[in-house]
Amino acid sequence: MKRVLIVEAQAADALALKEGLQEAGLANSSTVFRNGADARRHLSARDRNCILLLNIHGPDSDHMAFLDWLRQQSFYNQLLVIAVGKRGQLRAVVEACERGAHSFLIKPVHVEDLKTLARKYPDHWARTRE
């Protein structure tokens, strides 16, 4: 399986996402970045087949700029970028999708939500099993 990349400042939320992915059978390996700047420093073309879960409202609020940067990368089209946000963040979700997120999940993320998302984007999730 390929990795799932998680951009999430809250350790408890990142752990819940990792556990949900494992429980859903979608990933057994993931990397957590605390913010977009950290992810930007570490992402490269070798991560092109990964799934990227991005909390769109982090404490340093650099995540929209991260999406802008990500769209400029040659490997962007091979990533599945999923914005993760709280209820009431509809404007942020729309903005994230306009800036390149392919889909979104509302916190708290449940295992069934992850499975539904996997059914929507089977090619991307299948690549995580390589």
Measure Cα distances from 21 to 44, 46, 47, 99, 130 in Å: 22, 21, 18, 25, 16
Q: What is the pLDDT of residues 39-65, one digit of tens each?
A: 999 998 888 888 899 988 765 667 888
CATH topology assigned to domain 4-127: Rossmann fold (3.40.50)
Q: Where are the domains of the chain?
A: 4-127
The per-residue pLDDT for range 84-113, each reduced to its tens digit, is: 888 777 888 889 999 999 888 887 777 788
